[in-house]
Structure 1
Amino acid sequence: MPVHTTGVNDGGRRRGAGLGIALLSAVAFGGSGVAAKPLIEAGLHPLHVVWLRVAGAALVMLPLAWRHRDLLVRRPALLAGFGLLAVAGVQALYFASISRIPVGVALLVEYLGPALLLGYIRFVQRRPVTRAAAVGVVLAVGGLACVVEVWSGLGFDALGLLFAFGAACCQACYFVLSDQGSDAGDAAPDPLGVIAYGLLIGALALTVISRPWNMDWSLLAGTADLDGRPVAAYLLLGWVVLIATVLAYLTGVLSVRRLSPQVAGVVACLEAVVATVLAWVLLGEQLSAPQIVGGCLVMVGAFIAQSATPVKGSSAPVAAGGPVPAGPAAAPVLGTADREPTG
């Protein structure tokens, strides 16, 4: 009796394409730090860099927002949630946390998204999760602790940790909200419209927090130092806006639609590794042995978690993975001794 494998092959191709898009998103998000840090060192406040990033991306996406303006009536709650939580919430809470606790500690808490997604699926959606999923999450979080060298700046502040945990919750919401309506067929909200309005709403919220009218705009007409090489500030800002924000969010949401929040999230854990490697290559920051080992652990954890997860739509147990971002957070993971918040 012949065995029909067309569906399996289509599912495998869809999964492979989704993983490729998720990896591209992780690389795009992870590249924000190396472009933003020179701007900060040139004199821009980190919050102003974040505002320029989100507001610039919102301006680029404005034509798409107009094209999908029906979403304002059809899915206002989704748009508000994506803008306030997945865009502005991650940024604001991350910066609030690093004002009170070390950057490495804040990043580690923020990257608890995999565990939060696992708990959401198991206890809120009441769906089973596999043991491999839990193992992958533990390895990824442990690897991230090594990548950010959390022990180098241990310091605890209850409010700071609460802010960091809030950023982790917002980060997990990014993946959950990105998946909303993906099974609704033609009635599903267009991801381009969701991202466009999310960035617009996020930019408005961040305007109140960052107060860009106090920014020294003349700095954008000058140059910034990229490991001893002068680079036009507007070119670095263009990278942050177009690649690390527009492309990163587009590919991130599309990867969730093709895979699941869990799988796309665990691949996004590679953002911290990408950011560290790019800082080593482009900024001349050194990688320590624990960071190299941690990066390997993150990759192993991501592989275990994604390989244990069936194609989206299956009734089989669902594996869990985790978040970002710096993904949406676009949080920097720089060298061992000098980490700067880049938003």
Structure 2
Amino acid sequence: MRYAGLAIAFVSSMCFAFSGPMAKYLIASGLAPIEAVWARMAGAGLLLIAVLAVVKPAALRIPRARLPFFGMYAIVAVAAVQLLYFLAITRLPVGIALLLEFMAPVMVVVWVRFVRKVRLARAAFVGAVTAVLGLGIVVEVWSGLRLDALGLLLALAAGACCAGYFLMSDSFGDDVDPLGLIAWGLAGAAVVLMPFARPWDIPWSAFVSVATPAAGALELPVLGAYLCMVLIATVTAYILGVNAVRRLSAAVGATVASLEVIGGAIVAWVLLGEELGVFQIVGGVIVLSGALLAQTATASAQPSPATGLAEPVRTG
């Protein structure tokens, strides 16, 4: 079914959308943002490895020739995205940093067209740019124009690593089990982030408390918020996300993933009492339009005359 990949990508982006709101509960309980990120990566990675070791141990076997790929996936596609984003928001308004990180769809389209030499449908380009413009409206980019050169570079680097996640998820063959790749990627990211998060200093007693991130927010057990972040916003989100990219292609999957920002705003509205303004609603409609437009490109990839090679077209 042609739209199966789109449906999987949509659900994945909605699962990812819980990460920010749930992280706010951990931060409100006393954890630093990077500590919350590390707890998320470590918990999800260890859980997935434990489950696979029992139900599908073959998925955890890494072909010797694929060790560098697994290492790059953990460092670039998972750890670097998180670390660079958190470094960027120390120097830029959150909205600006988020918008630059979600330049990833455009970066993916450019890479696929000019590096992989795949002739994409015009819908892929227009959809990616439309989604980015919509995100600019959602975060009200004009309201935070304090720009820092290093912050801009960090945010763009986060976007490039985010693009790497989609491109790498689209490029491995049948010798790599997606579940094993995700499990080792998350666990490896936790190892990479350990010197920055310093888990030995995390206030673990906070996990047995309850927290209210802001006035008007729902009070939730911190452990419940953490489990939601691990099970839904990480394990389920990554598994669905990788499978969606394999069906849709990196260019389309990256654009559809932009819906995470909209989903995050909706979750924050329900749980945290953060109201959606006119710009968030209008921008959300534009992002959705861009994602739907890009999806039409799944049946239109053509090989470049220079190479005669075409990207696999996955239509579900």
Runs ≥4 in structure 1, deviation > 4 angstroms?
Answer: 314-318
Give the corresponding residue for 1:299: 288
3-state DSSP of counterpart to 1:121: helix
Contact 1:101 1:155 in 2 (8 A): yes
After TM superposition, list the pairs within 5 Å mapping 1:87-102 onto structure 2: 87-102=78-93
Give the corresponding residue for 2:241: 252
Contact 1:72 1:79 in 2 (8 A): no
Give the corresponding residue for 1:275: 264
Unaligned runs of 5+ in 1: 1-12, 319-343
Contact 1:34 1:279 in 2 (8 A): yes
Contact 1:259 1:311 in 2 (8 A): no
The answer on 1:109 being equivalent to 2:96 is no
Shift, 1:308, TM fit: 2.9
The answer on 1:211 being equivalent to 2:198 is yes
TM (normalized to structure 2)? Answer: 0.90
User: Could you tell me how far apart the structure 1 residues matched to 2:93 and 2:247 are?
Assistant: 36
User: Could you tell me how far apart the structure 1 residues matched to 2:4 and 2:113 are?
Assistant: 27
Give the corresponding residue for 1:134: 125
State the Cα deviation string for residues 249-285 of structure 1 (Å, max 9, x = none).
0000111112211111111010000001111122111
Give the corresponding residue for 1:230: 219
Residue identity opposite 1:121 in structure 2: V
Give the corresponding residue for 1:9: none
3-state DSSP of counterpart to 1:125: coil
User: Could you tell me how far apart the structure 2 residues matched to 1:110 and 1:231 are?
Assistant: 29
State the Cα deviation string for residues 73-117 of structure 1 (Å, max 9, x = none).
241111111100111010000011001111111011101111111
Give the corresponding residue for 2:153: 162
Residue identity opposite 1:307 in structure 2: T
Give the corresponding residue for 1:3: none
Contact 2:113 2:119 in 1 (8 A): yes
Percent identity of the aligned residues?
Answer: 45
Give the corresponding residue for 1:335: none
Shift, 1:180, TM fit: 2.0
Give the corresponding residue for 1:36: 23
State the Cα deviation string for residues 4-32 of structure 1 (Å, max 9, x = none).
xxxxxxxxx1x322111111110000111
User: Could you tell me how far apart the structure 2 residues matched to 1:135 and 1:311 are?
Assistant: 14
Contact 2:138 2:280 in 1 (8 A): yes
Shift, 1:126, TM fit: 1.3
Shift, 1:70, TM fit: 2.8
Give the corresponding residue for 2:314: none
Give the corresponding residue for 2:113: 122
Within the candidate set 202, 224, 244, 2:189 is matched to: 202
User: Could you tell me how far apart the structure 2 residues matched to 1:172 and 1:54 are?
Assistant: 19
3-state DSSP of counterpart to 1:309: helix
Within the candidate set 38, 47, 50, 2:34 is matched to: 47
Shift, 1:72, TM fit: 5.1
Contact 1:116 1:169 in 2 (8 A): yes
User: Could you tell me how far apart the structure 2 residues matched to 1:170 and 1:228 are?
Assistant: 33
User: Could you tell me how far apart the structure 2 residues matched to 1:178 and 1:70 are?
Assistant: 18
3-state DSSP of counterpart to 2:92: coil
State the Cα deviation string for residues 38-87 of structure 1 (Å, max 9, x = none).
22122211111001100000110123365434315241111111100111
Shift, 1:129, TM fit: 2.3
User: Could you tell me how far apart the structure 2 residues matched to 1:230 and 1:133 are?
Assistant: 42
Give the corresponding residue for 1:329: none
3-state DSSP of counterpart to 1:189: coil
Shift, 1:315, TM fit: 5.2
Contact 1:223 1:230 in 2 (8 A): yes
3-state DSSP of counterpart to 2:239: helix
Aligned length: 302
Residue identity opposite 1:290 in structure 2: F
Shift, 1:181, TM fit: 2.6
